[in-house]
Homo-oligomer: A and B are copies of this chain.
Amino acid sequence: MDTQTIEQANSRPGPQADAVARARCLALDAADPLASLRERFALPEGTIYLDGNSLGAQPRATAARIADVITREWGVDLIASWNKAGWIDAPRRIGDALAPLIGARAGEVVIADSTSINLFKVLTVAMDLATSRDSRRRVVISEADNFPTDLYIAEGVVGRRGDTASLSLVPATASAARHDAIVSALGPTTAVLMLTHVNYRSGAMHDMAALTRAAHDAGALVVWDLAHSAGAVPVDLHAADADFAIGCGYKYLNGGPGAPAFLWVHPRHVDRFSQPLSGWMGHASPFTFVPGYAPAAGVSRFLCGTPPMLSMAALECGIASLQLHDGSHEDAANPMPALRAKSIALTSLFIDLVEARCRDALLLATPRDPAKRGSQVSFHARGALAGHAYAVMQALIERGVVGDFRESSAGREGDILRFGFTPAYCRYVDVFDAVAIIGDVVDSGVYRDARFRVRAAVT
């Protein structure tokens, strides 16, 4: 039995066919080698949570761990916990736990600050490095539909350099043309190619190795934002020969709201320059309290201030929630291949079922080729749904299907309904039930109710 069989069953109308197709999803869940991972997460009753790409669900272990950090490590041992509980090593220890998931090695990753701040650090250093090699290289290349904060940070970085640096954006194009458009933009003035591996709106995934090679061939460095990749798709930074990477702790890593972010630098670059946020935690000897800055060796120099331990500990739980420790999996050190296989099955099933049920209203915005997408699926609202995407999502949320909405970028098809599938806790039956509810909302026109048009501050 495969997802295609379910799709065929579902495309036949009638409750009996639905029951058969749903039973097949339940059977897929029963046979899922990752099914037990779901038990690690607290998921609310009556909710199908398809927004783990925005905020990952809560690992059950987190509450007890944080209570222990608060009441014992902080409450009893107080300041001694910087040594006794290993707080001071947390940025490196948690970085080491994350490293296998992104193809980095022990000692190469730190957890710190936010994704935006980490991007500021590595992009500044990447520019330093690129211009030190060739002073004509002053341009950061990125994409117009990159996640906005990446572009804002890049705008800030280039705007404050004294060397007429600039940011050049490849216009948003259809997925198939993106790769070539980026390669074409590279040239003798390119300092850094700054890309997000998996696009936040469309879910389209870049070929990291190929684009890194193209950038290197053009004499440029590459900074990868792994916000929508880490914990969602296999990443191998060393195999791709990447230069710098940063990413987010609160999406597929389940680190909790606003979890600290991560940062990786290839060993060939890490000791070359100081990063601009030269705070004491990145100092070679932070507790000798000498007045002059001397950067630590290795990636520790990319730390700045005191780590926020409650949020750090929650991220540690989130990363642990993805580990396959029980020995039943071939590659216990790297859960990503198994998670990726399930992610592809879930997203493929979702695409098939939605297209069978709502083809006139929803146009696939995500690459159909599984190799070219991350762990989310987005649809443009079209036909009767055009202009109603926000309201449709609100109606879905009211019925327990939680995805999110993203406005169309200029010149593109309609607004987007975005659904993330976190393989650690999303089931095949969730996909089936979500599509049934999506179909009902689309067909019923309930989304036209005025209450679904009330915009919240955060969308």
Interface on A for B, CB 8 Å cutoff? 42, 44, 47, 49, 51, 54-55, 57-58, 62-63, 66-67, 69-71, 73-83, 87-89, 113-117, 120, 124, 144-146, 148-149, 151-153, 155-156, 160-163, 169, 250, 256-261, 274, 276-281, 283, 286-293, 304-312, 314, 397, 402, 404, 406-407, 409, 456-459
A169:B63 contact, CB within 8 angstroms: no
CB-CB under 8 A from A47, the residues of chain B are 78
CB-CB under 8 A from A257, the residues of chain B are 69, 73-74, 81-82, 87, 306-310
B258:A306 contact, CB within 8 angstroms: yes
Question: What is the CB-to-nearest-CB distance from A246 to chain B, in angstroms, rounded to a whole number?
Answer: 11
Measured in the bound complex, the distance between the Cα atoms of B458 and A79 in whole Å is 9
Measured in the bound complex, the distance between the Cα atoms of B146 and A313 in whole Å is 31
Question: What is the CB-to-nearest-CB distance from A214 to chain B, in angstroms, rounded to a whole number?
Answer: 23
CB-CB under 8 A from A66, the residues of chain B are 66-67, 70, 310
Q: A47 — nearest CB in chain B belongs to which residue?
A: B78
A62:B57 contact, CB within 8 angstroms: no
B151:A305 contact, CB within 8 angstroms: no
A88:B283 contact, CB within 8 angstroms: no
A258:B309 contact, CB within 8 angstroms: yes
Measured in the bound complex, the distance between the Cα atoms of B293 and A152 in whole Å is 5
Interface-central residue, A62, A256, A277, by most chain B CB under 10 Å: A277
Question: What is the CB-to-nearest-CB distance from A413 to chain B, in angstroms, rounded to a whole number?
Answer: 16
Measured in the bound complex, the distance between the Cα atoms of B279 and A151 in whole Å is 9
Residue of B69, B73, B258, B305 touching A117 (CB-CB under 8 A):
B305
CB-CB under 8 A from A57, the residues of chain B are 75, 78
Question: What is the CB-to-nearest-CB distance from A34 to chain B, in angstroms, rounded to a whole number?
Answer: 21
Measured in the bound complex, the distance between the Cα atoms of B157 and A160 in whole Å is 11
A70:B256 contact, CB within 8 angstroms: yes
B156:A289 contact, CB within 8 angstroms: no
Question: What is the CB-to-nearest-CB distance from A288 to chain B, in angstroms, rounded to a whole number?
Answer: 7
Measured in the bound complex, the distance between the Cα atoms of B84 and A44 in whole Å is 16
Question: What is the CB-to-nearest-CB distance from A165 to chain B, in angstroms, rounded to a whole number?
Answer: 11
CB-CB under 8 A from A279, the residues of chain B are 114, 116-117, 120, 149, 152-153
Residue of B67, B114, B155, B293 touching A306 (CB-CB under 8 A):
B114
Residue of B42, B261, B287 touching A75 (CB-CB under 8 A):
B42
Of the A-B pairs whose beta carbons lie under 8 Å apart in the complex, a sample of 5, sorted by A's number, is: A44-B78, A55-B82, A58-B75, A70-B256, A287-B457
Measured in the bound complex, the distance between the Cα atoms of B275 and A117 in whole Å is 12
CB-CB under 8 A from A113, the residues of chain B are 113-114, 117, 305
4 smallest A-B Cβ distances: which pairs? A114-B305, A162-B162, A116-B279, A149-B280
CB-CB under 8 A from A124, the residues of chain B are 160
CB-CB under 8 A from A70, the residues of chain B are 58, 62-63, 66, 256, 314
B58:A74 contact, CB within 8 angstroms: yes
CB-CB under 8 A from A305, the residues of chain B are 113-117, 149, 258, 261
B149:A310 contact, CB within 8 angstroms: no
B58:A71 contact, CB within 8 angstroms: yes
Measured in the bound complex, the distance between the Cα atoms of B307 and A256 in whole Å is 11
Question: What is the CB-to-nearest-CB distance from A237 to chain B, in angstroms, rounded to a whole number?
Answer: 22
Q: A156 — nearest CB in chain B belongs to which residue?
A: B278
B306:A250 contact, CB within 8 angstroms: yes
CB-CB under 8 A from A459, the residues of chain B are 287
Given A51-B78, A58-B74, A113-B114, 20 more A-B residue pairs with CB atoms under 8 Å apart are A55-B82, A58-B70, A58-B78, A66-B310, A69-B257, A81-B257, A87-B257, A88-B457, A113-B305, A116-B277, A151-B291, A153-B277, A156-B277, A156-B278, A161-B162, A162-B163, A257-B308, A258-B306, A258-B312, A308-B311
